C-alpha cells in the first residue's frame, strides 16, 4: 500500500486517482476530528469539505519531508478555528494571553487516575461525549488526536502549531478537566447491574 507521501507525489505527477485515495483514507478521521473540535452544533460537514479543498489547493506546497497526516490535520484545525471565530468571537479560554500563551495550561500537573467505578456506568459513551463538548476546543483536539487518532504529542504540537511542552501541559490539563467532569457526574450516573 502506498504511503500518504507517495500518493501526494503520484498526484503531483498527474495521477488523479491518488488524490481520491488520499481523501478516502483520511475523510473519516478528519471528519471525526473536526466534529469533536467544533462540537456537535458545529458544521463539521462544511469544515471537512473546506479542509480537503484547501489541502488540494496547497498540495504543491506540501513538503514531502513532513508527515502528510499532521499537515492535513493542521489545515483541519485552522478551518475549524476559523469557523469557531466566526461563530464565537470571544477568546476560547479566559486564561489565554494575547501572545497565545496560556499560563494555566503551561503549569498543569499530572491528572489523578480514573476511578474504576467509572467503567461500570451504563451511559459511559454518552457521558464521555457530553463531557468532551464542555472542554475548550484545543483540549478536545489534544485528547481526540492522542486517544482517537493515536498521534504522538510531538505530532499534535505540529498540528496545533505550538511548542511541545505546551501541548504536553495542555494534554495533562485536558485530562484533569475531563476527569473532573466525569467524576462529578459519578454520583448521579446509572451503574451496570451487578457491578455495584
Site residues, other proteins (CB under 8 A): 16-17, 19-20, 23-24, 27-28, 31-32, 35-36, 44-45, 48-49, 52-53, 56-57, 110-111, 113-114, 118-119, 124-126, 128-129, 132, 143, 147-148, 175, 182
Q: Are 112 and 179 in contact (CB under 8 A)?
A: yes
For residues 32 and 104, which CB has a smaller minimum distance to other proteins in the complex? 32
For residues 28 and 103, which CB has a smaller minimum distance to other proteins in the complex? 28
Q: What is the CA radius of gyration of the chain?
A: 19
Closest alpha carbon to 41 in 90, 84, 92? 84
The C-alpha cell at 158 is: 505540529
For residues 67 and 181, which CB has a smaller minimum distance to other proteins in the complex? 181
**Least separation in angstroms between CB 110 and other proteins:** 7
Q: How far is CA 46 from the centre of its chain?
A: 17
> Which residues fall within 8 angstroms of residue 123, CB to CB, at 6 or more apart?
189, 190
| Residue 181 to residue 135: CA distance in whole angstroms | 9
Partners of residue 121 on adjacent β-strands: 191
For residues 143 and 159, which CB has a smaller minimum distance to other proteins in the complex? 143
**Least separation in angstroms between CB 164 and other proteins:** 17
**Least separation in angstroms between CB 130 and other proteins:** 10
**Least separation in angstroms between CB 99 and other proteins:** 30
Amino acid at each position: 500500500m502506498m504511503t500518504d507521501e507517495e500518493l501526494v507525489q503520484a498526484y503531483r505527477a498527474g495521477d488523479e486517482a491518488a488524490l481520491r485515495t488520499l481523501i478516502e483514507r483520511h475523510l473519516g478521521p478528519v471528519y471525526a476530528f473536526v466534529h469533536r473540535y467544533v462540537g456537535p452544533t458545529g458544521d463539521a460537514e462544511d469544515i471537512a469539505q473546506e479542509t480537503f479543498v484547501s489541502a488540494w489547493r496547497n498540495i504543491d506546497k506540501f513538503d514531502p519531508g513532513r508527515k502528510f497526516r499532521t499537515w492535513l490535520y493542521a489545515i483541519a484545525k485552522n478551518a475549524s478555528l476559523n469557523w469557531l471565530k466566526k461563530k464565537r468571537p470571544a477568546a476560547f479560554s479566559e486564561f489565554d494571553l494575547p501572545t497565545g500563551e496560556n499560563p494555566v495550561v503551561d503549569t498543569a500537573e499530572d491528572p489523578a487516575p480514573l476511578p474504576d467505578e467509572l467503567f461500570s456506568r451504563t451511559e459511559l459513551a454518552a457521558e464521555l461525549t457530553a463531557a468532551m463538548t464542555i472542554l475548550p476546543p484545543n483540549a478536545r483536539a489534544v485528547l481526540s488526536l492522542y486517544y482517537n487518532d493515536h498521534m504522538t504529542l510531538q505530532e499534535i504540537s505540529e498540528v496545533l502549531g505550538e511548542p511541545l511542552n505546551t501541548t504536553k501541559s495542555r494534554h495533562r490539563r485536558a485530562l484533569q478537566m475531563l476527569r473532573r467532569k466525569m467524576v462529578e457526574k459519578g454520583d448521579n450516573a446509572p451503574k451496570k447491574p451487578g457491578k455495584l
